[in-house]
Amino acid sequence: MLGMTTTTEIKQLLHAEATRLGFDVFGVAPVDAALRGEYYERWIAEGKHGEMAWLARNNDRRLAPARLIAGADGTPQARSLVVVGMNYYQQEPARGYRIAKYALGRDYHNVLLKRLQKMCAVLREHGGAQRPYVDTGPILEKALAARAGLGWQGKSTILLHPKLGTWLTLGVIVTTLELPPDAPGTDRCGACTACVDACPTGAITAPYQLDARRCLAYLLIEHHGPIPEEFREAVGNRLFGCDECLDVCPWNKWAQATREVAFTPREYPDLRTMLAWTEEDFRAHTQGTPLARLKLPRLKRNACVVLGNVGEAADLPALEALARDADAVVAEHAQWAVARLRAKFL
């Protein structure tokens, strides 16, 4: 069959399958795509990736995608990178705390990966060997998506699509088939600095540069220790993640509500209730969602900070109980919140 079907036709078949599976955008990047490797290596060397140690590993493949599939002798065999995106935009439910929009429903990693595997089956029928990735390997998804024509990396470093804005989850398939690449996206940020100006902690240190150690999304999700006091007030009512630099982007004026039912917002109780959760409660409410990644102590840590910022006097008993928690990080954050609320209400 390989000799009967052109690579252009294979790409068309794959694009049709991606659309059938619910992906909103599709493109192909060459394996020799320029990936700002010098900047990335300097970013790692300066420690701006924080505790995300996996970002410093396997960079021989991360910055040279042809090596993501190799022969027995180590010879690079990857020839193309297929990049797809799924729109996750929707209004966040009204409640006393905020969850980043991508995390409102089911975990997108699982949603996308199963569908990428179905796309891999199409490529396999035409002689390809493939590996699918959804934030699970040494892949610079946003840079590759821009090279595949899905948009451009904005000054926040987030991928921007001219019609869907900032609201895309990305998946990548590495294949040994050499598919026709798409034209790269064109940077359309112009003189706009809305995302830079809006960042609550100055984590976007310059256009196109991010210090993850200052980013609220990093601090609330990836960071395992205490949230530095200098950033706690900036957390505001954010329980999981931060959409500030995404929300303010002017390109979102064309944003469309997602069609993916898996992203339908999960219902959660108020924070006072969450503070009393057991491990069983936590699993029952968060299984299959991005919030499950936090584990219960970090969820309680975050909830304490939110209540310290926007809580009421009625929240004090729940926080005072946690101020004696066996987990030292949880206890310290509860004590911080108690002090804030007592100063405000008592």
Average pLDDT, the chain: 96
pLDDT at 163: 96
Cα–Cα nearest to 302, from 339, 340, 334, 267: 334
**135 annotated active-site:** yes
Residue 1 burial by Cβ neighbours in a 10 Å radius (0-12, 13-18, 19+):
exposed
Q: What digits encode the pLDDT tens for the residues 146-158?
A: 999 999 999 999 9
Q: What digits encode the pLDDT tens for the residues 258-302?
A: 999 999 999 999 999 999 999 999 999 999 999 999 999 999 999
Of the listed 32, 107, 135, 270, which one is catalytic? 135
The whole-angstrom separation of Cα 101 and Cα 147 is: 25
Average pLDDT over residues 5-21: 97
pLDDT at 75: 96
pLDDT at 256 over 70: yes
181 band by pLDDT with thresholds 50, 70 and 90: very high
The whole-angstrom separation of Cα 304 and Cα 275 is: 8
1 band by pLDDT with thresholds 50, 70 and 90: very low
pTM, entire model? 0.95
Question: Is the Cβ–Cβ distance between 172 and 132 less than 8 Å?
Answer: yes
Question: Is the Cβ–Cβ distance between 177 and 123 less than 8 Å?
Answer: yes
pLDDT at 27 over 50: yes
**Assigned token pair, 124:** 């396999």
Average pLDDT over residues 327-337: 98
